[in-house]
């Protein structure tokens, strides 16, 4: 290697190290501020309405073995949103060894899932997008909410303690306890909100995958009397030919979760199975940006072992997205779709946003003159329609 190449390589390493330290510093600073402000206190015996509370679950467990808790808000008792949070996925030992840190995100290094609920994660879970209780533009601000947080990398369905070797060579365990956390969360939900008439089961990113997997249990085991039920997955497309093996042998999910998996599209398989069992009892909704910068990076890692997103892989993801929308419409032509081409400079790497339902642009951005917030409001009121299909025609 000549001198110029060595200098460039050393400069790149220094840049990565600097970005990593800066990213960790920013995350830790925000985390300390959240702790000091106590933005979401523990649920008291007599909770107030329109206030976010944290509920620690004794039997819950985050991926790294630390505490697990959910968030709840008491609003209209007749309208309940069960929100399945996102936060990445681990499908093998390599991805298990690379959880998210602020430093890795800033440095563009591989990072696949959140493995704990450190204070920083609060800003991703409450008081933003559909969970924002201060914005008059949010049509769901007065609803009751259960936010089932996520820090296990298993699409909320895992039941395993998975040993792996960390990046530093140490022996580690990833607690795929997503399904246990879900069950404990639903006990809290049923106790606080026993009989809502209107039910919205939705999730973003990893939670979007989980919606069709868990919706049947939410309704059958906890809210069988609900009559107005809408399901909404925001950004749940990641093709991988070993999903069934992962669900069965790595996450140790129960048979009802892995048995329907027959293709490389886990979300599509779960929605097909759900529709076969429940038909038009539910309203079905799906949203995505057309060139998702983050999911295209995951896709690139699966296909090319390269965790990055560029115009080529974003175009490939666009074609996959187009195919998935067509297949969702084949399940039922009444599947409501919201596609967007929203970009955020310096964030989306030339592509488009990753998820919107729990982001400020849920209410602020529009596609064809319609915000996602108003589209979703119309859907839960029985007016299901498509937005943005012209982007893939």
CATH number, domain of 365, equals: 3.40.50.1820
- Separation of alpha carbons 162 and 89, rounded Å: 14
Is 389 in contact with 337 (CB distance < 8 Å)?
yes
Residue 219 lies in domain: 3-392
pLDDT at 108: 78
- Dmax over Cα atoms in the chain, in whole Å? 72
Tens-digit pLDDT profile for residues 178-189: 999 999 999 999
Is 365 in contact with 371 (CB distance < 8 Å)?
yes
242-248: long-range contacts, CB 8 A cutoff, minimum separation 24:
242/91, 243/91, 243/269, 246/91, 246/92, 247/157
The domain tally of the chain equals 1
- Separation of alpha carbons 245 and 296, rounded Å: 22
For the chain, where are the alpha helices, taking DSSP H only? 3-37, 93-96, 102-107, 122-125, 178-192, 206-217, 243-245, 255-258, 266-278, 293-304, 311-331, 361-364, 372-380
- Separation of alpha carbons 46 and 311, rounded Å: 52
Read off the tokens for 341.
């081409």
Tens-digit pLDDT profile for residues 236-256: 999 999 999 999 999 999 999
Tens-digit pLDDT profile for residues 34-84: 444 557 999 999 999 999 999 999 999 999 999 999 999 999 999 999 999
Is 88 in contact with 153 (CB distance < 8 Å)?
yes
Rg for the chain, CA atoms, rounded: 20
**Closest to 268 measured CA to CA, from 338, 321, 200, 201:** 321
Mean pLDDT rounded to a whole number for the chain = 91
């Amino acid at each position: 290697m000549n001198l110029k190449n060595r200098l460039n390589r050393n400069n790149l390493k220094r840049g990565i190290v600097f970005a990593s330290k800066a990213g960790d510093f920013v995350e830790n600073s925000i985390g300390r501020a959240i702790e000091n402000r106590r933005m979401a206190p523990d649920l008291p015996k007599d909770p107030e309405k329109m206030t976010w509370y944290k509920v620690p679950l004794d039997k819950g467990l985050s991926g790294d073995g630390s505490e697990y808790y959910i968030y709840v808000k008491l609003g209209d008792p007749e309208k309940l949103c069960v929100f399945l949070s996102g936060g990445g996925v681990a499908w093998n030992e390599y991805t298990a060894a690379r959880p998210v840190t602020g430093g890795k995100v800033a440095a563009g290094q591989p990072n696949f899932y959140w493995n704990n609920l450190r204070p920083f994660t609060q800003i991703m879970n409450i008081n933003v997008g559909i969970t924002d209780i201060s914005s008059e533009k949010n049509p769901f601000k007065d609803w009751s909410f259960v936010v089932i947080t996520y820090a296990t990398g298993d699409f909320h369905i895992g039941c395993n303690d998975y040993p792996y070797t960390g990046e530093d060579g140490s022996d580690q365990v990833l607690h795929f306890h997503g399904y246990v956390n879900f069950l404990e969360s639903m006990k809290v939900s049923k106790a606080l909100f026993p009989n809502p008439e209107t039910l919205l089961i939705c999730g973003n990113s990893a939670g979007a995958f989980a919606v069709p997997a868990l919706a049947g249990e939410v309704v059958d085991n906890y809210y069988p009397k609900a009559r107005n039920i809408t399901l909404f997955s925001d950004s749940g497309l990641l093709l991988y030919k070993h999903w069934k093996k992962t669900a069965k042998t790595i996450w140790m999910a129960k048979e009802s979760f892995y048995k329907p998996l027959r293709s490389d599209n886990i979300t599509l398989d779960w929605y097909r199975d759900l529709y076969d069992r429940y038909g038009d009892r539910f309203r079905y909704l799906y949203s995505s940006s057309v060139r998702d910068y983050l999911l295209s990076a995951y896709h690139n890692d699966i296909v090319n072992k390269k965790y990055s997103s560029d115009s080529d892989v974003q175009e490939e993801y666009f074609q996959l997205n187009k195919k998935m929308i067509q297949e969702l419409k084949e399940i039922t032509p009444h599947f409501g779709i919201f596609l967007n081409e929203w970009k955020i400079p310096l964030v989306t790497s030339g592509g488009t946003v990753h998820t919107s339902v729990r982001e400020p642009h849920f209410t602020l951005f529009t596609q064809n003159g319609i915000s996602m917030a108003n589209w979703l409001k119309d859907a839960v009121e029985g007016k299901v329609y498509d937005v943005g299909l012209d982007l893939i025609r």
